[in-house]
Structure 1
Amino acid sequence: MFQINEVVDLDGQLYRILKTVGDQIIWIEVENKKAFPSFIHIDELEQLIMSEKLTRVSDPFSYLLQLTPTPGSKEEQKRDKYFEIIKPLVINDQFYIPKVRAEYIKQILQGGEISKPYLYRLVRQYWQRGQIQNALLSDYHKSGAKGKKRTANDIKLGRPRKITSGIGAIIDERTEKLFRIVIDKYLLTEQTFTVAFAHRRLKLLYEQYFPNLSEAEKPTRRQLEYFFNREYSDAHKLISTNAPTTYRKDIRPLHSTATMQALGPGSRYEIDATIADIILVSDDNRNQPIGRPILYILVDVFSRFIVGWYIGFENPSYVAAIQALHLGMTDKNKFLQNKELNSESFEWPRPGLPEAILADRGELIGHQIEGLEKSFNIRIENTPPYRGDAKGIVERNFKTLQAEFKPYAPGIVTGVTVKKVGGRNYWLDGKLTLSEFTEIIESSIVMRNFVDPLSKYDKSSDMPADLPLIPVHLWNWGLQNRTGRLRTADPEDVRIALLPTEKVTASENGICLFGLYYSSPEILSAGWMHRVSSSNRPKKLMAAYDPNHANEIYLFHETNSRAYWVCRLTDMSRAYRNSSFWEVWRNLELKKKAMNQSRLNADKVRAVHEKKIESIISSAIKSTPKATNTNTERMRNVGQAREKQLESERLDRRPKTKVTYPSSKVISLRDNDDIDEYPTYEDELFDDGDD
């Protein structure tokens, strides 16, 4: 029931069991400096246990088992020497008998190597600390109170000064309080203040509490730095000097690996995007840079196999993510059949739907992904904001793929964007087009999937030692030996499930989406477009659309169902045929801007118009005299007054005839003789002759 060297607690006193003799136990009090081995009956111990007075406790000297003195050190020599001295006594089976013990102590003392009090101390230490040789080790680790804070009274701690004059500052509680104020304000912040800067601020603060003090009596930088390192742990410094997102992403300790969460191929896909570190040029004009492309990667966590990707200039969003997702769930052999990458040695595995997809919150969140989530039972997992480390596998692939072209390709993005000494603007160095860059990335993906081994892949215990750590081999092994998570589905159904969805309305003009109208034979057969009030058309429905193609949409005509009708643009919206929805949105925005500008202009003119109306009405009211006839007489004369007004209106519409009056004789105010003073050419002007 009891074991040798076991430690028990009896009413707060620790005892160590040294030996079992029949139904008796030899034990010794552990913390008593004058204790000797004593007897106790086993039945008595059992009674103490039953009464809950005696309990087993952990050995307070268990650490001695782990100590290993340096070979040849003074500490080892003293331990071995002391053990050789007490060995005749402690190895004797009757050491617990006082007479036998006294005889052996007498023999040891005759050697003259040790005094009697010290001998008793060693023997007692040997028994109390576990009956091992290391029990005789000196407690040097307790010397000097290493790591414990010293209390400064009126004497400065530390070695005296040899070079600097003065005694120096005594670091008491008030000074430590000032230390903490400066440290919390300048050193434990996300800003990069140095210890030297904090020390200068400390001296300014110190002068406010202790004025007229010489520079030599102020706390030194070394004292501040020593206090900082003693009172604040490295973990505390890292947490305080780094932003929470940076600490969680780049610094915090890792507790597991991503592969632990993936049981096999298809258990979890990771998807993420990055901006490639290269400047591309236009296909039409190679001298015109167009910027950095977007690279999306969809990777299987278990095998590290890259199953889907997108390369283009679509900003990181759901629209770009679905391109990579759709490719990841379709046959890549057909996709690459016209490329040089396709060969018998690069046989792509059969695609399928994963069990879960891990993505950023802004890419696969909300109702847009519900089609894939509900129809195909794919779990969508989202990472917290600014936590790129949550998708470490796909992040690692970005570095690997870009390392393939960075040493050779022109236009690589560097830290300098302007020309400096010996530098160039990398925006002007680009030479690759998007199609050429796509070929490079796709070739790198094939190398990554089929050729390059994973040097840091964390294998599980059931994986064969000779299994090549290449993604395609890990994928195939996982399908055969692990739980299969991939599921098959129709590619067109998957594509439609990935498309964004939007609420649409049904009217006699058709299905309205973004101001465009669509129809289908099924809608006509259902009578939704009949121009009658009794039509049983639904009020609101959902439809999926391809942002790249506005000619058709996919109408989910039943509630809680993914069954769809293909609807095409009606003649009412023929202006947008063969357009993308981006063009539709841009035109609608321009239309709204033009309408808004027209309304602003109309409001300005309408204000003048309304003011004129008010003026006319006001003038009419003022010009109307008070009626003298009764209301009955006024109503009786309505017909007569209307006829009179009509005659006047007709008279106004009658064309006006021009009245011709006879001309009068012109009487000249001059004499007739004056007429001859001016020449006349009437005869020449009206002569018909050819002279």
Structure 2
Amino acid sequence: MSNIDNMTTGNIITDKETGTRYRIIYVSVKNIVLCEMDITKFVLISMSYMQLVDFIQEHNFTISDDKGLVFDENNLSENIKTKYIRNRDMMNEIVAAYGPTFLGLSGKKPKKRLYEILEKYNCSSSTFWRLCVKYFQSGMKTYTLVDGKTWSNVKGKELKRNVKSGKHSEYVESGIVVNDKVREQFEDALNHYKKGRAKSFRSAFDWMNYKYYSETKIINGATTVGLMPESQRPTYNQFYYYCSKHITEQEKDLIKTSAAEQRNNKRLLTSDSLHGVYGPGDMVEIDACEADVSLVSSADSNKTIGRPIVYFMIDVYTRAIIAMSVAFDNNSILGVTNLFLNLADNKKEYCSRFGMGFDDDAIWPSNIKPRRVRVDRGSEFKSKEFIRICNELGIELQIVSGASGSLKGVVEQSFHQMHSRQNEHLEDNGLIEKRYDSNHHKEATLNIEQYTKMVINFVLMHNQQYDKTYPLTKEMMDKRIQPIPAALWAYGAQKIAPSRIPDKDQYLYTLMTPIKAKLSRRGISYNGLWYLPKDDKKLTKDMFRAGTKKVPFEARMDKRSVNDIYYIRNGNLMKASLNEMITGNADFADLTEKEWNDYRKGKSQLDAKGRIQNEDLSAFNYSVNQEIVESAQKNTYSDKKNMRVTRELEKQKVSRENNIAQRLQDEDTKVLPEKPNPKPKRKPKSFQEAIEMYFD
């Protein structure tokens, strides 16, 4: 990378003289904060932007980039995944508290907020600083928050423990190696603990021993049940340690009281939508609405297609709309992922596609990853797929109570404002009026591209609009901060930096849908289509080994296109495209999965009609064969003597009947159709009549 103008967080700066590498973790027009790499200490260096530019231009420093590992958290073991989620959520709060420069984390200055967060997540200081060094030196990529032993498996190594960890007893051999099977038993016992208020860790431990580590014994002639030797079962300390890592104090409190009591007695008493919101990107609200307009087809402006669906993601702290989507997917996960794709888009490039633009980045922020998201009980927001996406992105999901639009009133109000701004212009152009004589479908004139441009125009206006109802703080008043979303974003980002998307590949992989593909010698098959990877020798070997078997293959797909599927190989995002060498595969390129499924449905209908036709033909074929055989029936056996001579005579007879001369003769003797008899000629009565008869 040589373009200094594109310098951003995550880039690597290398001192050519010493070879020391630094990671950019904050950049502005004035200052840059670097984190020194390849060391075990957390060292931040702040310098002016122009100074670094001078160093690069004088060829003292070089600027480069790298890619992180892409991973699927669902493939992690339960223990590793739990630790990863804890680390991810903890780091999100650290970023919110000490961003955007993170200089507050370095040095010996008091860090009260840091230790509050560590106490909340039950994390020791040594563990945190070890994570902190890896996280910031990587450019804040989430894969560094996964236990490093996991990536040793990616590289082909496997960690096996054959001896029980921890201090051994001096008096009796006790405890066993805690492997995945034992962890499953611990998890079962922990679930047993969660089922009742009267249960304790000790009683759950006894329950586990009775279920998994008991055996029948005969003592003094009587049959009884006893525990296995201590060297063949886990200790209470091993079980308690596992439980302490997999249940929080809040969960224990909820188990021992009730959800209602905890909610009423221990929740924060909120006063308004800003209470508990610490800065830009900390909390967003998402909702969708059907726009009050009917649109026409982009391909044929005379065809009406109905109402579009508008999705907004609005930042609660600043009231800025940070993502939007206009499509026709209602109550669909595709509509939500459209919104998250726009969240990562470069908004200036997005606007330029529609002939619009803006100057200040704060007007419409790009590449933001919110910490919390508040939604209603729509089917797309309650779906397993949306919950999976939020979990993998490390976004806390808050679903408000049903019929409680006021609990996410910020985004609800933005839709009312959008309609009030647009309806005047949409009148007689497809505006849907709440009247029985509304002719919106007949009056529709706008297509989706034109209406999207109107929505973009509203977003840009909204993010620059003065909001007199916004509750300014004393500090905002002292600094004369205007209650404008763009101004509030710029102000808030200087105090608490919003989280950025550190790895675009990982982010886009998360937004794709997991699919159940199959691997065989022909390639990767999914939903009737065949895919073939490029430059993946390992997968080629796997295909050869699979042979004719269909081996399950983990992959993901963007439902908006069947062209490619994606999978992970050694931490890299790999792509397999439609195999054009298989007949018919390439014909379906650039289709959505819905369009491809419609084709398959049409093929199924053809197959059903074809099956009926084949049955009719088969029955007719059978009846003709049966008639021929019955007509040849006779009362005596055939004579097989002199069969060779008889066969030769019959052979020559057939040859004579199939000769070419006979066919040529048949062509010459074909009877031509008779021509109609001409009308009898009469004698003309005059010269003029003779001329007319001649030309007739």
Q: TM range, normalised to the smaller chain?
A: 0.3 to 0.5
Asked which structure has the greater CA Rg, the reply is: 1
TM-score normalised by the chain length of structure 2: 0.47
Higher relative contact order (CA closer than 8 Å, sequence separation 6+): 2
TM-score normalised by the chain length of structure 1: 0.48
